[in-house]
Amino acid sequence: MKFACTEIPSPLGTIVCLSHDTGVCALDFIERRALVEARLARRFDAVSISKGDGSADVVDALAHYFAGELDALNGVAVDAGGTPFQQRVWAALRRIPAGQTASYGQLAARLGSPNAARAVGLANGRNPVAIIVPCHRVIGTDGSLTGYAGGIERKRWLLAHERAARPAADDASLSLPLF
């Protein structure tokens, strides 16, 4: 499988995007590039990565997102792979609106598996498409910021960015959306 690799500057550091004709397969921070490539190699039999601009739409969408257009990532095609359960979790993550959060337990309940909070947490941690599949929007039941592969400071920044860019009339505290 051939992938285009694009390095994208962002306020959080350089982001690496690996995509092919069906969408973004991996998006992560540059210091995690070796892990991202190893995961792709496990997912696909043969991986060929070339530097390219195969992700121009993703570059534009991320630029708009970081400029405050929080819904700019909604239409980006994603091919994250994963198990059927992981795919359900990642789809549910994409339905959490920017500026809002959910706990692992709330997300598990929304998926119809109220006792699966730990499984939701594991799926969240295996999300290969950071920011676009917004795993940063999942927090602890007590409202605490829990693990984020890109680091808690980046998670804090993303959540603050999303809250700051929300319209003032919708500036409630972070909470589970009605999706």
> Would you please indicate which residues are annotated as catalytic (active-site) residues?
135
Place of tokens 């709330």: 106
Beta strands in the chain (DSSP E): 2-8, 15-20, 23-29, 48-51, 102-103, 138-139
Query: Can you list the positions of beta strands (E) in 63-159?
Result: 102-103, 138-139
**From CA 169, how far away is CA 71, in angstroms rounded?**
17
The residue whose two tokens read 């969240």 is: 124
Q: Considering only CA atoms, which of 15, 58, 53, 45 is closest in space to residue 149?
A: 15
148 exposure class (CB count in 10 Å sphere: 0-12, 13-18, 19+) = buried
